[in-house]
Chain A
Amino acid sequence: MTDRGPLSRRDLLRLGVAGGTATLAACGWDGGRLIQPKLLTVSRLNDWVGEHLLFDPDRLAPTCPPDRRIGRMPSYFISRGGPPVWPQGDEWALTVGGLVRKPIRLTRPMLEKLPRVTYTVKHHCVEGWTAVATWTGVPVRAVTELVQPTADARYLRFDSFDSGFFNGWDLASAMHPQTMLAYGFNDRPITPDHGAPLRLYSPVKLGYKLTKYLTGMTFTQERPGGHWEDQGYPWFAGI
């Protein structure tokens, strides 16, 4: 205890360290080489908590009638110069393979003959906005039953023709009854704006997990990354 007044030199030093840290932190700093890897480690911990503690594979996202659609689904893709379009004349097909007993190539007519689901749900974007839209397609679970994955299949990788955009999914979220390969959007065939001819859709994941312009679906043992996930977005992204 000194008689110098209410603040000792040591107190001021401590205050300075705290203030300095806060100021440094406030300059758009992503953590740098020292801290960013640690932030990503915690992000993997959060993925684990999201996948194993908070995700209920049977919980359905609330649905509503199509006349309750609100907001606008924007058109997002990573290719430059407009939404990617599958070349005319080339037959498009979805290649389903990897750790499966019966790999298959599914054309649009084949997909449309498989079990069909339609629902109107709220879409959650990582940016913070929402929009309600109607999606029609075949449950990923139905396609999975066709190809019969082997016991060591733990993840699903979805590939696209949108400049190599891809996503990795945990099997439980992919097998969720509302996760589908969508070919219909708001009561119409899906357009290139929203991922034609086929896109992944699910109300239990953030939008960036929902690969558009699908070309392939591969069962893997190793965890696939993803276009945004590899740049730092959370991998699990279940909501």
Chain B
Amino acid sequence: MKTHRIYWLLSLTLVLVGLSGCQSVQPWEKGKLSDYTMRPDRDPTADAMADHIYFSREAASGGRGVGGGGCGCN
């Protein structure tokens, strides 16, 4: 029974520590998310290489296009 309580306490502590890192980003705080450096397609050479690897390994290509940054505008 004692081990059971320790297990619970440990789990709860770990969860609380983990959740303390969670944040909801407000719409007016998304400047950093919409920065150019957050774009997955910001480096054409790296994109071409990644596409080539994907094509070679998975026999598939394309489907990487994502519109816009991360600002969630409109």
Answer yes or no: do A and B interact: no
